[in-house]
Amino acid sequence: MLKLLLHRYFLRYVIEPIKNLFPIDMGSKKSVIFVAGMGRSGTTWVGDLLNYQDHFRVIFEPFCADKVTEAKGFSSTRYIRTQVNSPELVNFARNVLTGQIRSNWTEIKKPGKIYFRRMIKDIRCNLMLLWLNQLCIGMPIVFVVRNPFSVAASWLQLKNFKEASDFDILRNQDRLFIDFPVIANALKMIDINDPFERIIWMWAVNHYVPFSQMDELNFYLAVYENLLLESALYAPCLLEFGCVDYSLEKVQSILGKPSRANFLKRDPSLEKEELFNGWRKVFTAKQLKRGQTILSVFGLASLYDADGYPLVASFQDIKRYL
């Protein structure tokens, strides 16, 4: 009788509270996929597409030091070389990759839900993807790319985006400039008081580094515009990379839904044209020309044509420009 009462007590006051707080992660150390990209590039939307069947436990933005205390060593867009073996950084990153990190910020709560795979989605890791990949060899990484002018327009429309502070963090990383001299050269030519030029430079940095390292990573290039305009062609490729079973009908329905990070409250099923080239209404011809000049220093000015259509669909395509 006592044993039965203790069992019931354990279930009621120990197991049930835990189940009501967080999903249960039964995934192995290798059952992880990483979704990366610059903020406002569609990373949450792409993550939602990969997880349209709710088969992944989603760990949301775990490297956000403002929200996750343990991530204090990871400033926004920090560059980390593969030789860095700081116990503090390594231990936290491994806890993230193996699903041991939990907080009210990182969890998309599904009380009592059991998962055997996990997805990490973060917009602050572009400059340390190679380092993360070495901590979890073979980890598939989906890298989301969106037109730099679309990203810049979105950043400027969101008044709470701290692009100036992100810019300062990025330009004060000496090791980044040593390893990639083109970044320092491009910084010298921009007007650091112009938010548009700062964002275009940051876009270039956040893409040039992973593009330069891509041969050593299990990367999949997810071009936002390709998924938006030609979903029947590109969505299956993305899902197959993530080892996700799918039906095209269900995928089409999820592609028409806004993501959880849709701060501008747009309806992607109705506003594809606005999502695709709404940036044309935001910038002058002079600004666009200036942006192209900055991108050209990195060899990234030809990833999109003059009408905003992507000219790349894979990392092999990007190699032609770098």
Q: pLDDT (tens digit, 9 = 90+) per residue, 106-143?
A: 997 777 789 999 999 999 999 999 999 999 998 999 99
* pLDDT for res 275: 74
| Residue predicted with more confidence, 200 or 252 | 200
* pLDDT for res 263: 45
On the question of pLDDT at 270 being above 80, the answer is: no
The structure tokens 């910038």 sit at 283
Place 260 in a pLDDT band, splitting at 50, 70 and 90. low
On the question of pLDDT at 268 being above 70, the answer is: no
* pLDDT for res 11: 56
Q: pLDDT above 90 covers what percent of the chain? A: 65
The answer to whether the pTM exceeds 0.75 is yes
Give the whole-angstrom CA distance, residue 293 versus residue 197.
10
User: Which two tokens mark 306?
Assistant: 């003059």
What average pLDDT does the chain have?
A: 88
Average pLDDT over residues 67-79: 91
Task: Give me the domain span that covers residue 295.
Answer: 2-318
Place 67 in a pLDDT band, splitting at 50, 70 and 90. very high
Q: Which of 144, 151, 182, 178 shows the shortest CA–CA distance to 291?
A: 151
What is the number of structural domains in the chain? 1
| Chain CA centroid to CA 99, Å | 17
Helices (H) and strands (E) in the chain, counts: 16, 7
Q: pLDDT (tens digit, 9 = 90+) per residue, 139-181?
A: 999 999 999 999 999 999 886 667 788 999 999 999 999 999 9
Give the whole-angstrom CA distance, residue 306 versus residue 310.
10
Average pLDDT over residues 263-275: 58
The structure tokens 């030029």 sit at 197
- From the number of C-beta atoms within 10 Å of its C-beta (0-12, 13-18, 19+), residue 210 rates as buried
Give the whole-angstrom CA distance, residue 203 versus residue 201.
5
Question: Which CATH number does the domain housing residue 109 bear?
Answer: 3.40.50.300
